[in-house]
Structure 1
Amino acid sequence: MADALIFYTNPMSRGQIVRWMLEEVGAPYEPRILDYGTTMKDPAYLVVNPMGKVPAIVHDGKVVTECAAICAYLADAFPDAGLAPAPADRADYYRWLFFTAGPVEQAITAKHFGIEPDTDQQRSAGFGSLPAALDALETAVAGKAFVAGDCFSAADVYVGSQVDWGLQFGTIASRPAFEAYVAPLRERAAYKRAKEIDNALIAEMQAANPA
């Protein structure tokens, strides 16, 4: 049933990551588009996510929030899609999925807000510094088609989305390893479908609310 998997999102959000993952999974889902400041803060949605943020999914009555968690959950919930390595081969899968969701995103956010940890602060901050986090991420993708093993996985959806977004908007400095890693991901059919859907929704929103 299509309503067994509900996807709460806004096309101008990290929901684009989950949209791509859902298109890779190939299971039917019901999208529910929420607006910032209105339906995202509505009491009915706060029951789903008390943070009042998207994305979130409800699958068979169970709620999952946070992009990396959603990607990992969907890979397990739909094993026929082949988006998770075998349990014995998940070291890199978990490592880089959650490293990117944690230290890398924290470092990018800190930089965006003008926070530059000094040497002492870098010892306490989990991300250290943005250059250090990106240096580590580069080791995960340099010379590799996939971030975890020999096959595309949910980790590539999440890591690839962060690198793709960062290169596009300048929050991640261009490096040959990042460019080489993300280029073939952009050619995946599911990536293109997801972008087409979200770009169409963005165009509709902009037409309905011209600046």
Structure 2
Amino acid sequence: MAEDLVFYTNPMSRGRIVRWMLEEVGHPYRTEVLEFGTAMKSPDYLAFNPMGKVPTIIHNGTVVTEAAAICAYLADAFPETGLAPPPGDLRRGPYYRWMFFAAGPVEAAISNKALGFEVPDERRGMVGYGGMNDVVNALEYAVTQSEYIAGDHFGAADVYVGSQIGWGMMFGTLEKRPAFEAYWQRISSRPAAVRAREIDDALAAARKQPSS
């Protein structure tokens, strides 16, 4: 039932990552599109997401925020999808390792680069990601060890890591190394990824239409 899984998002946000994950899961869900600065900051929404940002999901009364956490949660909540290695499987190590590497060092490094901030060489020890080149080299390593992040099977970590790579190359905050382009091509053509893009692109386009 769609009412047991509600998705709060905006088509011009990181909610696009979770949309892709939801389409991979295939469980019915209801979408609530929120406006920046208004609905996202309303008392009702702040009551379960004090950050006043998207994405957020509520699944059977459980609130989950942060895109990486939502991807990991959904994979475990719907184990029949095979989107996460099962508990005890050794692939769970690289699965968590690279998903949260993307949520931490990659997200921070790419955001700082987009804002024009670079960590001085003498201060690299103070930040979790060191330097941008360190992050990019490690990310390249992650996508070249196997077909997918956790081996030969696509999973939730690919949704999250892949989204960071796809967006980074699109917006010029991540260099287009051949390994990144090959990896992105492998995963971005998945039916769920295409459906998710089409849904959010349509929502974004509709928001740009003048009201009658």
CA distance in 2, matches of 1:143, 1:51: 36
SS in 2 for 1:6: strand
Distance 2:32 2:180 in 1: 32
Residue of structure 1 equivalent to 2:52: 52
Superposition RMSD in Å? 1.0
Q: Distance in 2 between matches of 1:65 and 1:201?
A: 21
TM-score after normalising by structure 1: 0.96
Q: Could you tell me whether the CA contact under 8 Å between 1:57 and 1:63 is conserved in 2?
A: yes
Q: Where does structure 1 lack aligned partners over 5 or more consecutive residues?
A: none
Contact 1:20 1:194 in 2 (8 A): yes
Runs of 4+ in 1 over 2 A off after TM superposition: 86-89
Deviation at 1:131, TM superposition (A): 1.3
* Structure 2 residue corresponding to 1:170, chosen from 161, 169, 172: 172
Which whole-Å CA distance do the structure 1 matches of 2:28 and 2:96 have between them?
Answer: 26
Deviations 1:93-119 (A, max 9, x none): 000000000001101111122221112
| Residue identity in the other structure for 1:22 | L
How many residue pairs get aligned? The number is 209
1:66-145 equivalence runs, <5 A: 66-87=66-87, 88-89=89-90, 90-142=92-144, 144-145=146-147
**Counterpart residue number, 2:200:** 198
CA distance in 1, matches of 2:169, 2:118: 20
Provide, for residues 129-158 of structure 1, a one-character-per-residue CA deviation record: whole Å limited to 9, x for no partner: 111111101000026320111100100000
Aligned with 1:49: secondary structure?
A: coil
SS, match of residue 32 in structure 1 = strand
Structure 2 counterpart SS, 1:57: strand
1:35-72 Cα shifts (integer Å, max 9, x gaps): 00110000000012100000000000010000000000
Equivalence for 1:65:
65
Partner residue in 1 for 2:185: 183
Question: Unmatched 5+ residue regions in structure 2?
Answer: none
State the alpha-carbon separation in 2 of the partners of residues 109 and 121 from structure 1.
Answer: 18
Preserved CA contact (<8 Å) 1:143 1:177? no
Which letter maps to 1:38? Answer: T
Local SS of the residue matching 2:17: helix
- The amino acid of 2:32's aligned partner reads R
Q: Distance in 1 between matches of 2:83 and 2:177?
A: 27
Identity value in percent: 58
* C-alpha distance in 1 between matches for 2:95 and 2:106: 16
